[in-house]
Amino acid sequence: MTKMISRKAGKLSRRAFVVGTAAAGGGLALGFHLPFGLDEAAAQNGGAELNAWAVIRPNDTVVIRIARSEMGQGTLTGLAQLVAEELECDWKKVSVERITPGQNLARKRVWGDMSTGGSRGIRSSEDYVRRAGAAARMMLLQAAANQWKVPVAELTVADGIITHAGSRRTTSYGKVAAAAAQLQAPDQKAITLKDPKNWKIAGKPMKRLDTADKLNGSKVYAIDVKLPGMLCAAIKDCPVYGGKLKSYDESKIAGRPGVKKVVRVKDTAVAVVADTWWRAKSALEALPIEWDAGENASVSSATIAAHLKEGLDASVTNGDRKNGDAIAAIASAAKKVEAVYSTPFLAHACMEPMNATVRISADKAEVWVPSQNYEASLASLSETSGVPLANCEAHRVDLGGGFGRRGGTQDYVQQAAIIGKEFPGVPVKMIWSREEDMAHDFYRPISQCAMSAGLDEQGNLIGLHVRSSGQSINAWLNPTAIRGGKDTRQLQGWYEEPGDAQLGYTVPNLLIEYVMRNTHVPVGPWRGVNTNQNAYYMEAFIEECARAAGKDSVEFRRALLKNHPKHLAVLNAVAEKGDWGKPLPQGVHRGIAQFMGYGSYVAATAEVSVSPQGKLKVHRMVLGIDCGHTVNPDQIAAQIEGSVVYGLSAALYGECPVENGRMTSLNFDTYQVLRIDEMPKVETVLVPSYDFWGGVGEPTICVVTPAVMNAIFAATGKPVRSLPLKHVKLV
Amino acid sequence: MARLNINGKNQDVQVEADTPLLWVIREHVGLTGTKYGCGVAQCGACSVHINGEVMRSCSIRVGDIKATDKIVTIEGLSPNSSHPVQKAWLALDVPQCGYCQSGQIMAAAALLKKKPKPTDADIDAAMTNICRCGTYQRIRAAVHLAAGNGNPARS
C-alpha cells in the first residue's frame, strides 16, 4: 500500500504533490492564506504555537496536531502519545487537532506526508513528531530558565510542570508557553530523543482519544455532514468496467418529489440530484438507463480463471527471485510436493460507503470526504473543479473504515465535483449505495499460485519453486513502477531484501516467479493486500511439505528460519503462547503460520474443529507481532483482534464473482463477512525487539488464513488450496 | 406527512410513506448517529429501538410507523452517555472507526433489557450487527461488563 497513485486521478496536481514530497524541506510555496487557519484558531483560544505540532494554552491544555487520517486504526492516539512523550506534558490535558491539506500546503507542507496507508501512519512519522515534541519541551524549559535567570540544565519537568529545585520554584507549560513560542527552535542536532525503554506515555496502553463521540451518535462522519441548502446525489456507474453510459430517459422521473437534476458524470455514470438522498436514490432506481457494456461484457470468473491458469505455464515472467537451481533440485529430489492454490477478488466493504460532499463556486472549492490521502482529495477536487489548488480545501473528518479503498484513488471526489459544478455555491452530498460501493471498488487482486518442492531423504526442503499468476496493482494504478516488464510488488512477503516484507525461509534452491495476468477489473490496495495471498500460498504449502517430510510443523519451519532470527523469535513466542505440542480437547486441531509484511514479523496459531457435517469452528487464535517498538499495546491488540475478523471474513466467505463483465455480489447478503458468533478467542503476544519501527494495522491479517487452513489440514488430513472456504467440502 | 415520536419528542415530517425510517431519521429529523450501511437489514448500522425492540430502520417504511410508537435512537439512549452499555464501551475502548457502533450499542442495550445476564450464546444470537474493523471480541467483553458479569479476562 505504498504508492497509491491513481491513473484516473488528477495528473498535474498529483505530480505537484509528488514533487513537493521529493523536494526535502521545499514543498509547494503557494502563498495561500487561510482566513481561519490554525494559527488564528490557536491564537483565538489564547494558545501559543511552539511548532507545527504542538500548541499550549494558558490553562496548560496541550493541542497536538495530527496529519495522518484516523479510520479506526488508532494512529491518532499513537501519534499524540509520541509527541506528548517527548514534550513531557500532562497526558490528561492533551487534545488533538486534525490539520487539513489546505493548511499543509499553505505552510509549505510543514506537516509532511498526510497519506495513511501501508501501515505507515506511525512508523514513517515517528521521528519528526517525536522531534517536534522534544523541541517544544526544550523551548518551554528555556523560557522558564530565562524568566528565572538560571541555567536551563538546572530545570526538571514532569507532566508539564517545570521545577527549579535550587530555588524551589515551579511554573507550568501554560505560563511560559507564550514566551517559549518567541524563542528560536533548537537545532535538530541538539535534540536527543528518549530511549523507548524509558517511555512513560508512549509504550503504554493509553485509552484512545477519540472514543467518546462514537458512543452517543454525535461524531460527524463525512456521510453525516449537513450544510445550509445542501442537495444530495445518488449515482450509478456502468456496471461493466470499461463500459459506457449510452442513454437514460429523464422523462420517466419527471415530477418525482425533490428531484432537481439528472447529471451525466464523465461518459460512464449518471447521477440524480434531489433535496434528500433517499429521494435521489429512489429516482435513480426508477430512471431507465441503457449501458454500452463494451468489450468486457462476456468476461466471467471462469474466463478470468482460465486467463490466470495459462500464466502458470507461460514462458515470460514479470519479476523473479532466484538462488541455486530449483527446477533441477526438485526434479532430482527424493520426494516431490506439488500444489496449485487460488484466491479471489475481494471488496473492502468499509462500513461507511464511499461519499463526498462538495461546495464549488467559480473561485472556491471545498470537499468533505473520508480520505486516507487528503492531499490526493484536494488535488482531485482542484483538477476536476478547475479551481486552483490554493483556493481548494478538503475538510478533515475521521473515516468509517478505509482498508486501502480511500487512498490515492479519489474517484468519488471526482464524481462529486462533476456533479457539484452543476450547482455553483450549493453544497451537494453524493453517497454511493452499498450496491454501488461493491460494484465499483478497487478490488484485492485475484491470483493463482503453483508451488512445487523437493525434499531430500531426510525430509529437508532442498528446492522450492513458486509461480504466482495474477493481476498487478501497479499495472492498474501506477504503471511507471513497472520497469522492464518487472513488477515485484506482487511478491510482497517473498522478498530477499530485509526490512519490509522478507521471506524468512532459506532454501538452497529457490525460484519465485510472478506472471502478470491483468483483467478489466479495477484493483488496488486492500488491508494487507499481497501479503494475504502470498502468506497463504507459502504457509499452506510449507505445511504440505512438513507433512510430506513427516516433520512437526514448527520444527520444519524453525530449520528453515535459522538465518532469520526475528522471524524465528515470533514463531517461537507464538508456538509457546499457543501451547504448541500440548494436548487439545477431543476433535480440536492446531495450525501455525508465520510471515513478514509492513516492516513487522508476525505469526499465528489457530485451534479449530470440523463437525461431522463439515462445519468449521475456530475456537482460539494466538497472534504474535514484532513491530520493533510498541507505541500502544492495547491498540496493537485491538488491531490484531480486528485483523482476525478481516482475515477470517476473507478466508471463509470473501469473493467477488464476475459475470457478464460485472460484479454479482453487491451487498452483505451475498458478500458475507464474519459476525460475532464466529469470532474466536484472540490472544496477542507482543515480541518487541526495540531496534526498528514496523507497521501494525495490516501485518497480522496474512497469517490468519494459513494458520486456520493448516489447522483444518490437521483436522481433516486434506489441504485447503482454494478460497473462500465456503466452496470447500471439508468432509 | 407523518408524525413520529423520537427520543420522547413528537416530530412531524413531510415525507413519502415508503421512505425508510432510517432516512427520515437522518434527513428529515436530522439525527445522524443512526447509520446507513447496507439498506437491506443485513449490517445493523441503522439499529434503533421501537417500543423497546431493536429494529433495523433501513427496512421499515415510515408509513408503517404509528404516531404512538416510541422510537429511540442512539442520541436518545441516555443523557451524557451514561447508559451501562455506553460506559462499558468506553471502559474497554471498543470502537475502532466507530461507524457501526451506534447500532452495536443499540443492539446491546436491547439485549440487556431482555436478558440482564446474557450468556455468550445469547450475545451470539442477539448481536448480529456487522463490524468491519472487527471489534467483536471487545463487544462481547463489554456486554458482559455492562451486565455486571465482570470483565472476562482479555489478552
Residue-wise burial string across A67-99, b where 16 or more C-beta atoms lie within 10 A, e elsewhere: bbbbbbbbbbbbbbbbbbbbbbbbbebbebbbb
Both A192 and A208 in a single domain?
A: yes
Name the A residues in 175-214 with CB < 8 Å from any B CB: 207-208, 210-212, 214
Both A210 and A230 in a single domain?
A: no
Contact between A232 and A433 (Cβ < 8 Å): no
Spatial separation of the C-alpha atoms in residues A311 and A470, rounded to whole Å: 8
Along chain A (731 residues), what's the average pLDDT of each consecutive run of 10 residues? Answer: 36 35 28 38 72 97 98 98 98 97 97 97 97 98 98 98 98 98 96 96 98 98 98 98 98 97 98 98 98 98 98 96 98 98 98 98 98 98 98 98 96 98 98 98 98 98 98 97 95 97 98 98 97 98 98 98 98 98 98 98 99 98 98 98 98 98 98 98 98 98 98 98 98 93
Q: What pLDDT does residue A46 have?
A: 73
* Domain-embedded: residue A377: yes
* Domain-embedded: residue A589: yes
* Domain-embedded: residue B40: yes
Dihedral through CA A635, CA A637, CA A640, CA A641, nearest 10?
-110
* Domain-embedded: residue A319: yes
Count of domains observed in chain B: 2
Both A542 and A630 in a single domain?
A: yes
Nearest by CB to A216, which of B81, B124, B127?
Answer: B81
Q: What pLDDT does residue A45 have?
A: 64
Terminal Cα distance for chain B, rounded: 52
Rounded to 5°, angle at Cα B47 from B46 and B51: 135
Contact between A550 and A529 (Cβ < 8 Å): no
Name the A residues in 256-275 with CB < 8 Å from any B CB: 257
Both B9 and B72 in a single domain?
A: yes
Nearest by CB to B134, which of A211, A221, A641?
Answer: A641
Both B88 and B136 in a single domain?
A: yes
In this structure, the number of other CB atoms found within 10 A of the CB of residue A716 comes to 18
* Interface with B, mutate which of A215, A282, A622 (most B CBs under 10 A): A215
- A450, three cell numbers: 503453483
Both B89 and B49 in a single domain?
A: no
Both A70 and A115 in a single domain?
A: yes
Q: Quick: pLDDT tens for B12-23.
A: 999 999 999 999
**CA nearest B104 in A: which residue?**
A215
Q: List CB contacts of A189: < 8 A, sequence separation 6 or more.
A: none
Q: Last residue of a domain, which of A431, A456, A481? A: A431
Both B125 and B136 in a single domain?
A: yes
Both B70 and B85 in a single domain?
A: no
Contact between A369 and A222 (Cβ < 8 Å): yes
Chain A residues lying within 8 Å of B99, measured CB to CB: 221, 350-352, 400-401
* Domain-embedded: residue B152: no
Q: Is residue A206 classed exposed, middle or buried when 0-12, 13-18 and 19+ CB atoms within 10 A define those classes? A: buried
Furthest-apart CA atoms within chain B: distance in Å: 52
Chain B residues lying within 8 Å of A221, measured CB to CB: 35, 99
**CA nearest B73 in A: which residue?**
A217
Spatial separation of the C-alpha atoms in residues A418 and A267, rounded to whole Å: 12
Both A159 and A117 in a single domain?
A: yes
Q: What pLDDT does residue A437 have?
A: 98
* Domain-embedded: residue A1: no
* Domain-embedded: residue A553: yes
Contact between A214 and A406 (Cβ < 8 Å): no
Q: Last residue of a domain, which of B52, B76, B100? A: B76
Q: Last residue of a domain, which of B42, B57, B76? A: B76
Both B30 and B95 in a single domain?
A: no
Both B97 and B132 in a single domain?
A: yes
* Domain-embedded: residue B18: yes
Both A677 and A705 in a single domain?
A: yes
Both B8 and B35 in a single domain?
A: yes
* Domain-embedded: residue A141: yes
Q: Does B100 touch chain A (CB under 8 A)?
A: yes
**CA nearest B135 in A: which residue?**
A642
Running DSSP on this structure, what letter comes out for residue A99? P
Mean pLDDT for chain B overall: 96
- A377, three cell numbers: 482529495
Q: What is the 3-state secondary structure (H, E, C) of A344-363?
A: CCECCCCCCCCEEEEEEECC
Phi, then psi, of B81 in degrees rounded to 5: 50, 40
Nearest by CB to B90, which of A212, A220, A684?
Answer: A212
Both A555 and A607 in a single domain?
A: yes
Both B98 and B59 in a single domain?
A: no
* CATH number where B112 lies: 1.10.150.120
* Domain-embedded: residue A12: no
Range of the domain at A409: 222-294+354-431
Q: Last residue of a domain, which of B58, B76, B94? A: B76
Q: Last residue of a domain, which of A431, A464, A499? A: A431
Both A89 and A38 in a single domain?
A: yes
Q: What is the 3-state secondary structure (H, E, C) of A376-435?
A: HHHHHHHHHHCCCHHHEEEECCCCCCCCCCCCCCCHHHHHHHHHHCCCCCCCEEEECCHH
* CATH number where A576 lies: 3.30.365.10
Both A135 and A194 in a single domain?
A: yes
Both B105 and B57 in a single domain?
A: no
Both B60 and B91 in a single domain?
A: no
Both A77 and A116 in a single domain?
A: yes
Phi, then psi, of A484 in degrees rounded to 5: 60, 30
Q: Quick: pLDDT tens for B29-81.
A: 999 999 999 999 999 999 999 999 999 999 999 999 999 999 999 999 999 99
Calculate how close chain B gets to A250, using CA atoms only, in Å: 21
Both B38 and B90 in a single domain?
A: no
Calculate how close chain B gets to A360, using CA atoms only, in Å: 22
Residue B152 binned pLDDT confidence (cut-offs 50, 70, 90) = low
Q: Last residue of a domain, which of A214, A237, A259? A: A214
Secondary structure element (H or E) that encloses residue A516, with its range: strand A509-516
Chain B residues lying within 8 Å of A634, measured CB to CB: 93
* CATH number where B71 lies: 3.10.20.30
Both A371 and A498 in a single domain?
A: no
Q: Does A73 touch chain B (CB under 8 A)?
A: yes
Instruction: Give me the total of CB pairs closer than 8 Å, taking one residue from chain A and one from chain B.
Output: 175
Whether omega before A525 lies within 30 degrees of 0, making that bond cis, reads no
Contact: A673, B130; criterion CB under 8 Å: yes
Count of domains observed in chain A: 3
* Domain-embedded: residue B151: no
Q: How far does CA B110 lie from the centroid of its chain? A: 8
Closest CA to A628 of A592, A595, A602, A593: A602
Cα distances from A308 to residues A464, A541, A714, in angstroms, run 21, 19, 29
Range of the domain at B138: 79-146
* Domain-embedded: residue A11: no
Contact: A668, B30; criterion CB under 8 Å: no
Both A530 and A598 in a single domain?
A: yes
Residue B3 has pLDDT above 80, yes or no: yes
Contact: A211, B90; criterion CB under 8 Å: yes
The total number of residues shown for chain B amounts to 155
